[in-house]
């Protein structure tokens, strides 16, 4: 469980300032920026992993053990 005090000491990946140093408005803007970046960069990766799970070759972990 992560408390809000600990979150305050986490570095923001959008602007490299601590989360606790953000204004409420600034934090919203940073989160929006991070989300946009993640969607742009992660889209092709996400589609790739989705295809992996959909593929007939995919078998659940417990069935691969011998
Ligand atoms: Zn930020």
More confident residue, 41 or 63: 41
Alpha-carbon dihedral angle through residues 13, 18, 24, 28, given to the nearest 10 degrees? 0
Q: Which residues surround ligand 1, an ion (CB under 5 A)?
A: 12, 14-15, 30
Asked whether the beta carbons of 11 and 17 are under 8 A apart, the reply is: yes
The alpha carbon of 4 and the centre of ligand 1 are apart by a number of angstroms equal to 16
pLDDT digit string, tens, across residues 25-45? 999 999 899 888 878 878 777
DSSP, res 15: T
1-20 average pLDDT score: 86
Domain assignments of the chain as residue spans, ordered by start: 1-40
The alpha carbon of 39 and the centre of ligand 1 are apart by a number of angstroms equal to 17
């Amino acid at each position: 469980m992560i408390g809000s005090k600990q979150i305050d000491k986490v570095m923001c990946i959008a602007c490299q300032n601590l989360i606790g140093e953000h204004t409420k408005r600034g934090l919203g803007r940073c989160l929006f920026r991070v989300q946009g970046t993640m969607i742009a960069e992660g889209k092709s990766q996400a589609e790739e992993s989705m295809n992996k799970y959909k593929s007939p070759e995919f078998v659940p972990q417990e069935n691969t053990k011998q």
